[in-house]
Structure 1
Amino acid sequence: MTEKVQIPRQESLMGPEIQNPFVHRFEFTVWDYIRIAFMSVTIAPIRIMLAFSILALDWLAAKVGFIGRTEEDALTPMTGWRSKYLQFPVGFLFRCIFFCMGFHWTITKGKPALTSEAQIVVAAPHSTLFDNLLFPALKYPSVVAKTNTGSIPFVGPLVNFLQPVYVSRKDPNSRLNTIKEIKRRCQPNSGWPQIVIFPEGTCTNRTCLISFKGGAFYPGVPVQPIAMRYLTKPDTFTWTWDGPGAFSLLWLTMCNFDNKLELEFLPVYKPSQAEIDDPKLFANNVRAVIANALNLPVTDHTYEDCRLMEHARAKGLPLVAGIVEFQKILNKLGLKLETLQEQLDRFAEIAQSEGYVTIDDLAKYLNVSVSPALEEMFALYDRDGTNKIDFREYVIGCSLVAETANGEETLELAFRMFGGDKGYITSEDLTRILGSSFEMKKEECETLFKLVDKDESGQITFDGFREYAKKKPEYAQLFMTYQKQAAPQQTNGGHSIGNGNGMSKKSE
């Protein structure tokens, strides 16, 4: 396969079909509440006691497997008595834990590939801690996991027994080291078991497939895709950023009469030379294969969207305010996470309407009145015409509108427009222009003048004007919008205020 697999809505900056794949809410009927109440006092307590009892035995077996094993041994596949006598009981007990939780069997479609056919297995969507049930179906392969997973009480030794490739989101070198280790294990005749990777990198609500990380695809070797489906309703499995906690999900899942997981083993995907050379293309095409099997849309959300959600929470905004489809914003606009966090800080200053910006919020932030010029500028941000701007629209607007316009030439022209040909702007100059162009009252103009005139000299220099405008790039587009609306004959100091394209010229 050499051409890019076509999937719905993947290229434009329009909003995604799935606005928030990181939210989950329970939808229980009266019958569900009756079932939960009954199971909570009968079967669920027995299930949890049995599960923890077996977990303790499995933990003990895994700990035995580490006796006499050195750090150097961890760099090689597990062999000898550990592999021969412990791998099966550790794995069998692990499957028994899930049996106690109500996962009595796993429905499978297709055929798992041999390690010689596909060293890497990629599974999606990743949505819950119960996804680990995939491991028994694959005869206990290795896995890529977060660094702190190995330190979780009882669970940690079981993960370590799988000889995982650990990745840290805080270590800047971790991503490169992870890719190197995956490549090392994918060498022919390396002796390592298959590596299972959840390429989305974080949990979602299974309404779409978000961007795949490149770790599974950099080695350029065949991979086997697996499509995962939870068939039991209601959904008590999904554990994501905005929703019920792990304990609630664990208990409610044990209150189900039966839990069903379906694993569809898709044909091994062998990359073309174009995909070997371009891991992103490889990742997108494998994602498309799984998405088509599940009949799900794809989006360009990533784990970085979750980090922005947390940043939004810290700023007092709704979690959903931070979701922008990070990968698309990065590809289209080149904006990195740090830049988006700074813009989110500024957005939080403006947004006073439940995580959105209205034209009144924007006017208050810029210390101007609502005017035709401000309305025209607001419309440039309001891409969906809802009369309110979300953070995603704000980011696109700042990149394609305000910051593009916020050059020295625009600011110099605006400074002259406000009477700066003499080298400074007075309060009277500002009041005259703002009053006529933006319909601002004298008191509002004086308030804005004081904000710019930090040294209280009674004059605004170009440096002070530029410093204030740079802090709020929305001003630049506001200036340009007014200049386009201003009459060409309106002059100040022998210069035209505007000629319809934002450029000044000599009066004729």
Structure 2
Amino acid sequence: MPVDINPFYHELHYSKYQIIKIVLMTIFVVPVRLVLVTFALSLGWVICKVTVQGLSDEELKKPLTGWRRWLQREFGPPVAQLVFFVLGFLFIRTKGQRASKKEAPVLVMAPHSSWTDALLHFLDPDITSPVSRMDNAQIPIIGTLVKFLQPVCVSRDVANSRSDCVNEIKRRATSCSESNNLPDSDEDRDVKNEGEWQQVALFPEGTTTNRKCLISFKTGAFQPGVPVQPVVVKWPNHFDCVTWAFVGPSVYKLIWLQLCQITTFVQVQYLPVYTPSDEEKSDPTLFANNVRHVMASVLNVPVTSYTYRDGVQFRRRYLASKQGWSAKIAIWNNLASKIGLTSQVLDDILKYIVQKQRSNDLVDSDWLEEVLGIQSDLPKNSDVRNALNEFLPTIHNSEGKISLEKFVAITSLWCCKQEKNLDSLKYLLTICGVDDLNHISEESVNRCVQTIFESNSDHHSKNEIITDMFKLSYVNFETFKHHVCRKQGDFLT
């Protein structure tokens, strides 16, 4: 896996041309587009509301029939394409041929990178049933649009939701295959209509990325063991304001920037149907990986083992790195209060760590839990476990491992704050390799200062501390404390 690829980060770069265009479009075009988008969405909502009106949740678990199915097929795609058009999608290109339900009951789409990806389900008159978060169906207005598509709903917070989702995908996929094989006699027509689900379409990555690679595919689409059609989505735009990643512009900013573009290009390419072998039918993970490699080769991007959880952790680490020490200490204070740690106890823990470890050691959360006296069998949603999950990103390194140097830094600073003095900084110096606190090298001081001020963008302050300190012939612990306290006296307040 290429270590230099981060699929969860997206940064916008503005040229002078883009800045001028955004200003002019915001003044003259965006207001008009907002009115048109509001009209198109309102029209779509009315059609969706009429289509699902009077249907219970149980009835929505069956394919629509009669006039409801007619409305779904005849009005859904045109209205969605109107929304696309007024958003600036003047050219939506498709390549290849979409397979029939009989050929491929499931469409697997990748990469998932934009908030507008959901509209792609409407491109064809025979719209697809997506896999959607359960929460989406509860959102006012949006929930009606979601119900109109009759999605397979899944929730990351409900224990049995994923297995239920997989079972529903299997049911719909197999019903597609079976209904296409039924005869057209009057005797069997009702049975066939009951099984006429649309193709199930989903983004197996399970989250959005920046399209620089394909992350791990979830196996839900591949567990039925039926043929699937891979569909790759490309956004060939010079200015990328469609990518919605874990860290990057908010969805509201992306909508605004997208409205400011004269046109936005998207290309949907249908690849040949992938029929699983017997081995792949019995191993959904192998099936998913093989399909992913086919799609990655077409996109000319690598595959990685990253998952949704990695994205969550990256976002937590990123936000933690942007926080000042006051915020980090507050997070640590919350955990310490939950497990009853005092500065005296933590002083003993720090003494143990610096005697046994060095700062280049990377440890896992189990080791840290044992040192802190946290029970390993605590429920996932307990207060202590939630506080620990909030704290861990503040001491992770770039690879997601726990850095003892960062742990000692934040813990010693917390102790400094509790005791109203900086004596606990000796543990940070010790773990950074200082053996004699009366003669501290410039290299060790630089390392400690970089650790303490890592979240502070004021590089001048960091360099000033080191420069001022080493105007003297040597540095001892008292000198070190004096200069750090002068710059970061808020540790003690």
Q: Please, what TM-score do these two structures have when normalized by structure 1?
A: 0.62
Contact kept? 1:203, 1:239, Cα under 8 Å: yes
Alpha carbons of 1:164 and 1:368: their partners in 2 closer, same or farther (altered >3 Å)? same
Q: Structure 2 regions of 5+ residues with no counterpart?
A: 180-194, 324-330, 337-348, 365-394, 405-429, 439-493
Corresponding residue for 1:49?
Answer: 35
Corresponding residue for 2:401?
Answer: 394
Distance in 1 of aligned mates of 2:200 and 2:362 = 49
1:225 pairs with 2:211: no
Corresponding residue for 2:294?
Answer: 289
Give 1:109-128 correspondences, 5 Å limit.
109-128=95-114
Distance in 2 of aligned mates of 1:94 and 1:75 = 23
Corresponding residue for 1:464?
Answer: none
| Match 2:91 to one of 97, 105, 110 | 105
Distance in 2 of aligned mates of 1:77 and 1:389 = 48
Contact kept? 2:217, 2:288, Cα under 8 Å: yes
1:186 pairs with 2:173: yes
Distance in 1 of aligned mates of 2:114 and 2:149 = 19
Contact kept? 2:45, 2:145, Cα under 8 Å: yes
Give 1:256-271 correspondences, 5 Å limit.
256-271=261-276
Contact kept? 2:247, 2:315, Cα under 8 Å: no
| Match 2:115 to one of 93, 106, 129 | 129
How far 1:307 moved relative to its partner? 2.7
Distance in 2 of aligned mates of 1:441 and 1:293 = 59
Contact kept? 2:258, 2:264, Cα under 8 Å: yes
How far 1:16 moved relative to its partner? 2.5
How far 1:273 moved relative to its partner? 0.8
Corresponding residue for 1:251?
Answer: 256
Output the amino acid matched with 1:141. T
Contact kept? 1:209, 1:291, Cα under 8 Å: yes
Distance in 2 of aligned mates of 1:380 and 1:192 = 50
1:26 pairs with 2:5: no
Alpha carbons of 1:294 and 1:442: their partners in 2 closer, same or farther (altered >3 Å)? closer
How far 1:390 moved relative to its partner? 2.6
Contact kept? 1:21, 1:206, Cα under 8 Å: yes
| Match 1:164 to one of 140, 151, 155 | 151
Output the amino acid matched with 1:279. P
1:146 pairs with 2:133: yes
Corresponding residue for 1:62?
Answer: 48
Distance in 1 of aligned mates of 2:308 and 2:108 = 17
Question: Taking every aligned residue pair, what percent have the same amino acid on both sides?
Answer: 37
Corresponding residue for 2:3?
Answer: 16
Query: Matched residue pairs, number?
Result: 343
Output the amino acid matched with 1:102. G
Corresponding residue for 1:337?
Answer: none
Distance in 2 of aligned mates of 1:21 and 1:154 = 31
Any idea what SS the aligned residue of 2:401 has? helix
1:274 pairs with 2:279: yes
How far 1:278 moved relative to its partner? 0.7
Alpha carbons of 1:85 and 1:197: their partners in 2 closer, same or farther (altered >3 Å)? closer
Corresponding residue for 2:472?
Answer: none
Contact kept? 1:142, 1:194, Cα under 8 Å: yes
CA root-mean-square deviation: 3.3
Corresponding residue for 2:314?
Answer: 309
Any idea what SS the aligned residue of 2:95 has? strand
How far 1:308 moved relative to its partner? 2.0
Alpha carbons of 1:395 and 1:138: their partners in 2 closer, same or farther (altered >3 Å)? farther
Distance in 2 of aligned mates of 1:49 and 1:284 = 44
Distance in 2 of aligned mates of 1:287 and 1:299 = 10
Distance in 2 of aligned mates of 1:299 and 1:118 = 26
Alpha carbons of 1:297 and 1:364: their partners in 2 closer, same or farther (altered >3 Å)? farther
How far 1:312 moved relative to its partner? 3.6
Output the amino acid matched with 1:138. D
Distance in 2 of aligned mates of 1:167 and 1:203 = 16
1:174 pairs with 2:181: no
How far 1:108 moved relative to its partner? 1.0
Distance in 2 of aligned mates of 1:439 and 1:204 = 43
Distance in 2 of aligned mates of 1:389 and 1:364 = 21
How far 1:306 moved relative to its partner? 2.5
Contact kept? 2:114, 2:242, Cα under 8 Å: yes
Alpha carbons of 1:394 and 1:63: their partners in 2 closer, same or farther (altered >3 Å)? closer
Alpha carbons of 1:268 and 1:374: their partners in 2 closer, same or farther (altered >3 Å)? same
1:366 pairs with 2:353: yes
Output the amino acid matched with 2:397. D
Distance in 2 of aligned mates of 1:41 and 1:379 = 53
1:203 pairs with 2:208: yes
Higher helix share: 2
Distance in 1 of aligned mates of 2:165 and 2:46 = 29
Output the amino acid matched with 1:171. V
Distance in 2 of aligned mates of 1:442 and 1:395 = 26
Alpha carbons of 1:374 and 1:169: their partners in 2 closer, same or farther (altered >3 Å)? closer
Output the amino acid matched with 1:394. K
Output the amino acid matched with 1:45. P
Output the amino acid matched with 1:164. P
Contact kept? 1:232, 1:258, Cα under 8 Å: no
Corresponding residue for 1:495?
Answer: none
Q: Structure 1 regions of 5+ residues with no counterpart?
A: 1-8, 10-14, 320-343, 350-361, 382-387, 398-434, 444-508
Distance in 2 of aligned mates of 1:379 and 1:174 = 35
Alpha carbons of 1:105 and 1:274: their partners in 2 closer, same or farther (altered >3 Å)? same
Contact kept? 1:122, 1:198, Cα under 8 Å: yes
Output the amino acid matched with 2:22. I
How far 1:85 moved relative to its partner? 3.4
- 1:30-54 Cα shifts (integer Å, max 9, x gaps): 0000011111111121111101111
Corresponding residue for 1:35?
Answer: 21
Corresponding residue for 1:335?
Answer: none
Output the amino acid matched with 1:126. H
Distance in 1 of aligned mates of 2:282 and 2:354 = 52
Any idea what SS the aligned residue of 1:186 has? helix
Alpha carbons of 1:305 and 1:100: their partners in 2 closer, same or farther (altered >3 Å)? same
How far 1:441 moved relative to its partner? 5.9
Alpha carbons of 1:365 and 1:169: their partners in 2 closer, same or farther (altered >3 Å)? farther
Alpha carbons of 1:35 and 1:365: their partners in 2 closer, same or farther (altered >3 Å)? farther
Alpha carbons of 1:380 and 1:307: their partners in 2 closer, same or farther (altered >3 Å)? closer
How far 1:310 moved relative to its partner? 4.8
